[in-house]
């Protein structure tokens, strides 16, 4: 900040200055208050590294005990598989591309179901705010639909929509839509009534109130719905594949399970987890992009 030469440190400038200077000679000429920031950042980084190392150690320990148990015969490799067996199948799947193919198929079903389910759910959920009459009419049906275990619908969906992509997308959509709807409706209902009054005091119409206050203030709820429904979309797609399909991770798990190919089941499970992680990360990025004011309050 100043052009005072590094190292010529006047005495009595405060503890923070000296510590910062010791840790980072480049910061020597900055004021004591500024010296605190890099220190705090360093501490945060050190903490993050510690957390990551501990997590890695846990995974390594878990896999190590598992592998050791299998080699000594304490753990039945036929029933539980082994980390090295899983690794073999992962490498094989990656080499011949089969695992990528299955991941792509399941991702496509999940993505379509996720988008459709959330689009329909959020639209209907917000629209229910608009008409208290329809809210009363529909709420028991919505609750009824929400209480159906999604797997029970699979046979019907297969009969109606066939065994290809459509039925999986439909399964995925169905398992997402009610949660998305409830999240959006809850968001709309929790709009601050005083903010609504403020808009009316400016002469706004109900449509303007809806567009300018209700929808934006529901966005935080809708985004928590999005994060929640990533898992549901995946469950729907996989159940669809379980019931009837010729490809996808659900299909791979189903076949491998029936053949007692436990390592392949685990390898496919890992691929499923990878899909979920990618989805959640992408949703988080989009949230940061669309709701820039959120990062300021948390």
Partner 1 sequence: MVFGDDADQGTLVLDNVSLEVRDGEFVTVVGPSGCGKSTLLNLLSGLIAPASGTLYLDGKEVIGASKNYGYMLQRDLLLDWRTILRNVTLGLEVRGVPGPKARALAAKYLQFYGLGGYEHKYPSELSGGMRQRAALARTMILDPNILLLDEPFVALDFQTKLILESELAMSVAAGHRSVLFITHDVEEAVSLSDRVVVMSKRPGRIKAVHQINLDCDRTDPVSARNAPKFGEYVTTIWQQLEIQTSTLDMQGLKSMRLANELSA
C-alpha 59/C-alpha 29 separation (Å) is 44
Among positions 128, 181, 213, 256, the unique one binding partner 1 when judged by CB under 8 A: 213
Least Å from the CB of residue 216 to partner 1: 5
**Pairwise CA distance, residues 14 & 20, whole Å:** 10
Contact predicate 225/179, CB 8 Å: yes
Nearer CB in complex with partner 1: 170/199:
199
Taking the complex as a whole, the smallest distance from the CB of residue 284 to partner 1 amounts, in Å, to 18
Q: Is 139 left (phi over 0), alpha (psi -120 to 50) or beta?
A: alpha
Contact between 201 and partner 1 per CB under 8 A: yes
Please identify, among the stretches 19-27, 40-48, 144-152, 216-224, the one whose residues bind partner 1 according to the rule CB under 8 A.
216-224
- Specify the residue, 1 or 296, whose C-beta has the smaller distance to partner 1: 296
| Nearest residue (CB) to partner 1, 147 versus 298 | 298
Residue 289 binding partner 1, by CB under 8 A: no
Nearer to partner 1, 76 or 197 (CB): 197
Supply the minimum distance, in Å, between the C-beta of residue 208 and partner 1. Answer: 6
Residue among 192, 260, 273, 284 that touches partner 1 (CB under 8 A): 192
Q: Which stretch binds partner 1 (CB under 8 A): 181-189, 195-203, 227-235, 268-276?
A: 195-203
Of 42, 71, 190, 208, the one binding partner 1 (CB under 8 A) is 208
Q: Which of 216, 273, 281, 284 binds partner 1 (CB under 8 A)?
A: 216
Residue 224 interacts with partner 1 (CB under 8 A)? Answer: no
3-state secondary structure the chain: CCCCCCCCCCCCCCHHHHHHHHHCHHHCCCCCCCCHHHHHHHHHHHHHHHHHHHHHHHHHHHHHHHHHHHHHCCCCHHHHCCHHHHHHHHHHHHHHCHHHHHHHHHHHHHHHHHHHHHHHHHHHHHHHHHCHHHHHHHHHHHHHHHHCCHHHHHHHHHHHHCCCHHHHHHHHHHHHHHHHHHHHHHHHHCCCHHHHHHHHHCCCCHHHHHHHHHHHHHHHHHHHHHHHHHHHHHHHHHHHHHHCCCCCHHHHHHHHHHCCCHHHHHHHHHHHHHHHHHHHHHHHHHHHHHCCCHHHHC
Kindly state whether residue 190 participates in binding partner 1, applying the rule CB under 8 A. no
| Residue 93 Cβ vs partner 1, minimum distance, rounded to whole Å | 45
Which residue lies nearer to partner 1 by CB, 100 or 200? 200
Asked if residue 217 binds partner 1 (CB under 8 A), the reply is yes
Q: Give the one residue of 122, 124, 199, 233 binding partner 1; rule: CB under 8 A.
A: 199
- Interacting residues toward partner 1 by CB under 8 A: 192, 194-195, 197-204, 208, 212-213, 216-217, 219, 291-293, 296-297
């Amino acid at each position: 900040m100043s052009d005072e030469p590094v190292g010529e440190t006047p005495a009595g400038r405060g503890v923070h200055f000296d510590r910062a200077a010791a840790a980072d000679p480049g910061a020597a000429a900055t004021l004591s208050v500024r010296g605190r920031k890099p220190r705090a950042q360093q501490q945060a980084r050190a903490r993050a590294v510690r957390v990551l190392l501990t997590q890695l150690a846990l995974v390594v320990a878990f896999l190590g005990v598992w592998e050791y148990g299998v080699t000594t015969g304490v753990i039945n490799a036929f029933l539980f598989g082994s980390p090295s067996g899983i690794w073999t199948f992962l490498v094989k799947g990656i080499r011949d591309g089969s695992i990528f193919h299955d991941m792509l198929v399941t991702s496509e079903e999940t993505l379509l179901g996720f988008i459709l389910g959330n689009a329909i759910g959020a639209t209907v959920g917000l629209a229910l705010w608009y008409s208290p009459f329809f809210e009363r009419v529909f709420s028991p049906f919505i609750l009824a639909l929400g209480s159906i275990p999604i797997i029970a619908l699979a046979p019907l969906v297969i009969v109606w929509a066939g065994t290809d992509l459509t039925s999986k997308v439909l399964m995925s959509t169905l398992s997402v839509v009610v949660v998305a709807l409830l999240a959006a409706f809850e968001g709309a209902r929790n709009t601050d009534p005083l903010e609504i009054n403020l808009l009316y005091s400016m002469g706004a119409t109900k449509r303007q109130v809806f567009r300018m206050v209700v929808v934006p203030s529901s966005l935080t709820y809708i985004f928590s719905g999005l994060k929640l429904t990533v898992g549901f979309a995946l469950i729907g797609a996989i159940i669809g594949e379980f019931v009837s399909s010729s490809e996808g991770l659900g299909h791979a798990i189903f076949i491998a399970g029936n053949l007692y190919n436990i390592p392949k089941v685990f390898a496919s499970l890992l691929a499923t987890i990878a899909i979920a992680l990618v989805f959640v990360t992408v949703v988080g990025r989009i949230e940061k992009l669309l709701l820039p004011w959120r990062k300021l309050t948390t």
